C-alpha cells in the first residue's frame, strides 16, 4: 500500500504526489542540515580572544590550566611586526650573534578565558630564546598553581665558551614574575660545531616538561653530545625534580644516539602517575619512527620504546614533527604526522594498556591535502584532537571529538574561517571538563573555549569499518 492510497480522496494525481514527496524529502534534508549547522555553530562557546599584543610577531603558543581554572599561555615573540627589513637591508637594533633569537611571553586569564592580563616576558635577557614554530617552549601548572616553563635558550657553554642552545627552566609562583633561568642540562666538553651546524657547538633543546603529583616535574630534551659524523643523531635526556622544581636530580640519557634531532619531545603523566615520553627513533635506512616509552615508577625507569604506528617513513632530512600525547585512565592517545602517507598527514593511534602496545593508526583528517601540528587532550572517555590542515583552501585549524576513548570520532570540524594565516593549535582540558584552544593567527595568539556537549558522535570507527 502506498501512502497516497491511504490519503484516498485527498490524494491528487500521482505526478503531484511524487512532487510532494520530493519536496518533503528536500524539506527533511534542509531541516537536518539546519539542525546540524545549529549544532555545530553552538559548539564554539565564545568568540576568539586575542592573547598577544597587536603589532608583535607571536608564534608557537602553548597553554595550560591550573586547578583553580586559571588559564596560562606562553608564546614566542619574534619582535615587532615589520622589524625585519623586507629587502635585506641591515636591521637596526638586531645585533644578536645567535640565530633564531626570540623572547618568550606569558599571559594569564583568571576569568575563564574572557580576558587575559598584559603579557610579561619570561626570559630575563631579551632575545635569549632559541625558538621557532617547531621548537616550542613547554608549560605546565602543578597542583600548587606554580607555573613551570622549559624553553630553548641561546647560551654560552660554561665548558667551552662557545655558542650553544640549552634547555632553560624557570618557575613562577605568582604568574607575574619568573625565576632566573636554570639550565637543566650540563654543558658537554666537545665542540660539535661541524655536526650541529647553525653556529652552535652543542644543542640540548627540543624539550618538554610534564608534571605529576606531589611536586614531580620531569624535563626531557634532545641532546647532541653523543652525535657522530656518520648519522648525526641525538640522544633523549631527562632530569627530574621531586619538590616542584626547587632541586633537581642528575641528568641522564634514556635512549642514546638514535633519536631524530629536530623532532620535539613530548611527555604527559596519567592520573595513576605513569610518565610517558615520546620522540622519534631513527633506524635502518633513515626510517623515522615515532615512539612512546612509559615509566610506572615516576620516571626512574622507562620501559621499551613502542611505535605508535604508521607506514615506515624513510627520510634523510628534518621532519620537525612532534608526537602529540594525551592520557585518560589506562588509555594513551597519539597523534603524529607521517610523511609516508599519501597524502602526508596526521595519524591517530590509541593504546588501551598504558602504552605497552598501540592499535593500528588511522588518518584523523582523510580529506585533507596535508595535515600537521597535532595536539590532543583527554578527559574520561572524551578525546579532543586539534591540528592545522589544508582542504582545498587556506590553512585552517580543525578538530574532532571522540566520546568513546578514541574508538570513533565525530566529523572533522573547522574552527577558523577566512583568509588569515592560522596554525599551530594547542588544546587543553578545562577543570569543568570543557576544552580550550590556542592558536597562531596572522602572528597573534588567539584563545577560544569549546562547548562540545551537543556534538554528534556519528563518525565511523577510526579503522574505517561500517
Partner 1 sequence: MNGLSRFRLAWRTGMLCLMVSGGAWASSPVALIDAEDMRAQLDGHQGEVVVLNLWATWCVPCIKEIPDLMTLESELDSRGMRLVAVSMDDPADLGAVEAFRARHFPEFRTWLRGEPDMDTLVSVVDFAWNGILPTTYLINREGQVARKIQGKWSLDEFRTAVETLLD
Give residues in contact with partner 1 (CB under 8 A): 57, 78-79, 83-88, 90-91, 94-101, 132-134, 195-200, 232, 261-262, 286, 314-321, 337, 339, 343-345, 369-370, 372, 390, 395, 421, 423, 443
Q: How far is the CB of 316 from partner 1 (least distance, A)?
A: 4
Distance CA 430, CA 66 (A): 8
The nearer residue to partner 1, 262 or 415, going by C-beta atoms, is 262
The nearer residue to partner 1, 147 or 200, going by C-beta atoms, is 200
Q: How far is the CB of 73 from partner 1 (least distance, A)?
A: 19
Q: How far is the CB of 440 from partner 1 (least distance, A)?
A: 8
Let me know: does 52 contact 119? Beta carbons within 8 Å: yes
The nearer residue to partner 1, 35 or 94, going by C-beta atoms, is 94
Q: How far is the CB of 398 from partner 1 (least distance, A)?
A: 15
End-to-end CA, the chain:
32
Write out the DSSP string of 385-397.
EEEEEESSSS-EE
Backbone angles phi, psi at 308, to 5 degrees: -90, 5
Using the Cα atoms of residue 110, residue 114, residue 117 and residue 123 in order, give the sign of their dihedral: positive
Whether residue 343 is preceded by a cis peptide bond, meaning omega within 30 degrees of 0, is yes
Q: How far is the CB of 448 from partner 1 (least distance, A)?
A: 20
Q: In what order do the strands lie in the sheet with 382-390?
A: 370-379, 382-390, 396-402, 413-414
Distance CA 320, CA 302 (A): 24
Q: How far is the CB of 35 from partner 1 (least distance, A)?
A: 33
The nearer residue to partner 1, 142 or 163, going by C-beta atoms, is 163
Distance CA 15, CA 12 (A): 8
The nearer residue to partner 1, 161 or 394, going by C-beta atoms, is 394
The nearer residue to partner 1, 218 or 395, going by C-beta atoms, is 395
Element (H, E) at 370: strand 370-379
Amino acid at each position: 500500500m502506498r501512502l497516497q492510497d491511504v490519503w484516498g480522496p485527498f490524494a491528487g494525481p500521482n505526478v503531484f504526489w511524487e512532487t510532494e514527496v520530493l519536496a518533503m524529502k528536500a524539506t527533511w534534508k534542509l531541516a537536518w542540515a539546519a539542525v546540524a549547522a545549529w549544532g555545530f555553530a553552538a559548539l564554539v562557546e565564545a568568540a576568539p580572544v586575542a592573547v598577544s599584543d597587536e603589532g608583535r610577531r607571536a608564534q608557537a603558543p602553548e597553554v595550560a590550566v591550573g586547578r583553580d581554572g586559571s588559564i596560562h599561555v606562553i608564546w614566542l615573540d619574534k619582535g615587532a611586526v615589520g622589524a625585519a627589513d623586507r629587502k635585506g637591508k641591515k636591521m637596526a637594533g638586531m645585533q644578536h650573534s645567535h640565530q633564531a633569537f626570540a623572547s618568550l611571553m606569558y599571559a594569564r586569564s583568571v576569568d575563564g578565558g574572557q580576558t587575559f592580563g598584559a603579557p610579561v616576558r619570561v626570559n630575563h635577557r631579551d632575545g635569549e630564546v632559541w625558538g621557532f614554530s617547531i621548537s616550542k617552549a613547554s608549560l605546565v601548572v602543578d597542583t600548587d598553581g606554580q607555573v613551570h616553563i622549559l624553553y630553548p635558550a641561546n647560551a654560552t657553554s660554561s665548558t667551552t665558551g662557545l655558542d650553544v642552545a640549552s634547555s632553560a627552566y624557570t618557575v613562577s609562583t605568582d604568574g607575574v614574575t619568573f625565576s632566573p633561568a636554570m639550565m637543566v642540562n650540563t654543558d658537554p666538553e666537545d665542540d660539535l660545531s661541524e655536526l650541529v651546524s647553525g653556529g652552535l657547538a652543542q644543542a640540548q633543546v627540543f624539550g618538554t616538561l610534564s608534571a605529576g603529583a606531589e611536586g614531580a616535574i620531569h624535563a626531557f630534551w634532545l641532546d647532541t653530545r653523543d652525535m657522530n659524523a656518520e648519522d648525526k643523531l641525538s640522544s633523549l635526556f631527562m632530569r627530574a625534580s621531586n619538590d616542584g622544581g626547587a632541586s633537581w636530580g642528575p641528568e641522564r640519557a634514556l635512549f642514546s644516539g638514535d633519536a631524530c634531532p629536530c623532532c620535539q619531545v613530548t611527555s604527559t603523566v596519567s592520573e595513576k602517575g605513569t610518565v610517558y615520553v615520546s620522540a622519534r627513533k631513527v633506524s635502518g635506512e633513515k626510517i623515522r619512527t615515532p615512539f612512546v616509552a612509559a615509566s610506572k615508577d615516576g620516571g626512574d625507569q622507562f620501559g621499551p620504546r613502542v611505535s605508535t604506528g604508521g607506514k615506515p617513513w624513510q627520510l634523510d632530512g628534518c621532519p620537525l614533527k612532534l608526537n602529540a600525547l594525551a592520557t585518560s585512565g589506562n588509555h594513551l592517545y597519539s597523534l603524529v604526522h607521517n610523511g609516508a602517507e599519501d597524502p602526508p598527514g596526521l595519524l591517530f593511534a590509541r593504546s588501551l594498556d598504558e602504552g605497552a602496545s598501540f592499535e593500528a593508526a588511522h588518518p584523523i583528517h582523510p580529506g585533507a591535502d596535508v595535515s600537521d601540528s597535532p595536539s590532543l587532550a583527554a578527559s574520561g572517555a572524551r578525546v579532543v584532537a586539534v591540528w592545522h590542515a589544508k582542504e582545498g583552501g587556506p590553512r585552517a585549524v580543525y578538530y574532532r571529538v571522540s566520546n568513546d576513548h578514541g574508538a570513533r570520532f565525530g566529523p572533522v570540524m573547522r574552527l577558523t574561517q577566512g583568509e588569515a594565516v592560522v596554525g599551530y593549535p594547542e588544546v587543553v582540558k578545562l577543570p569543568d571538563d570543557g576544552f580550550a584552544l590556542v592558536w597562531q593567527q596572522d602572528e597573534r595568539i588567539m584563545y577560544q573555549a569549546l562547548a562540545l556537549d551537543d556534538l554528534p558522535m556519528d563518525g565511523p570507527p577510526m579503522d574505517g569499518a561500517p
